[in-house]
Structure 1
Amino acid sequence: MAWLMSVGVFLLLCVLLGLVLPNPPPSRWRRGLQRSTSRLTARLHRQPAAAPDPFDTLRLQTRLGSVSTKIRSVESTPHVYARAHRLMALEAAYDDLLDEACRLAGCPGEPGGERSEAKRWQEEQELAARGWTW
């Protein structure tokens, strides 16, 4: 309670001193105070994140669909030159697209990291729950 009383007395003295002194504080003090308050307000009032562009979402869904179609065609064709290499490259591209889609859709989880069928399935389910189709 005593600290509250001391803050009140300090503010009262500041107001009285402002009334008694005819000159405002020097301009460099005002500029410094203005800079510090603008920095503080910028920290407190951050702009909300903009909603993702629907055309970016559509492009990403289209790319996911084309890569998944290529993966299915490589898996179903038995005599493809460098099949394992193509399949690994296509799956890596698909995983990167899934990470980007999860970031756009706001899915929980960390991007990148260890890749597995379980993580891929989980990301696909999260996107499907949010209405994504490809």
Structure 2
Amino acid sequence: MEWIAVLLLFFVLCTLLNLVLPQPPPSRWRRRMHRSADRLTGRLRHRAAPEPDPFDTLRLQTRLGHLAGKIRRVESTPRVYAKAHRLMALEAAYDDLLDEACRMAGVSTEAHLKRGEEKRWQEEQELASRGWSW
């Protein structure tokens, strides 16, 4: 029963307030509320990813070329201390850079492929078809 009285009191107060303030709020309040709403929607709105910086692309291509040269040098040298360990580390770094380059170039990588020669070859071909060279 009390909630009916509270609800009735609420409606009476809203009616009295409407009679006292028949005009809309001043324009400065509307502008302020509009700016607040714009800021809020700006935060919630999905922003498009910015274009990659060409210097970042060039830096990444340079790093890929440097690592590819190191891999070739370790593979071609017959006697290198911890050759297998070095090759594994260099190839892992090269694969990471290839993944980063694919993200930057917008190449969709196939998730079902494990790291290895096949995935590396496909990523290199996709990047080369988009004009990447290293």
Structure 1 segments, 4+ long, off by >4 Å, are: 27-34
Aligned length: 113
| Cα distance, 1:23–1:101 mapped onto 2, change above 3 Å | closer
2:51 aligns to what SS in structure 1?
A: coil
Change (3 A) 1:52 1:35: same
Partner SS state of residue 128, structure 1: helix
Aligned partners of 1:31, 1:62: CA distance in 2, in Å? 50
Deviations 1:74-130 (A, max 9, x none): 11112111000000010011011111111111111268x831211111110110011
- Structure 2 partner of 1:6: none
Distance 2:62 2:49 in 1: 24
Residue identity opposite 1:133 in structure 2: S
2:83 paired with 1:79:
no
Inter-CA distance 50–73: structure 2 relative to 1 (3 Å threshold): same
**How high is the sequence identity, in percent, across the aligned residues?**
61
Q: What is the alpha-carbon distance in structure 1 between the residues aligned to residue 24 and residue 55 of structure 2? A: 58
Aligned to 2:129: 129
CA distance in 1, matches of 2:96, 2:24: 63
RMSD: 3.1
Report the Cα distance in structure 2 between the residues aligned to 1:70 and 1:41, rounded to whole angstroms: 47
Structure 2 length-normalised TM: 0.68
C-alpha distance in 2, partners of 1:52/1:103?
10
| Unpaired segments ≥5 residues, structure 1 | 1-16
The one-character-per-residue Cα deviations of 1:28-52 (angstroms, maximum 9, x if unpaired) are: 99866763454235544x5432221
Structure 2: runs of 5+ lacking an equivalent: 1-17
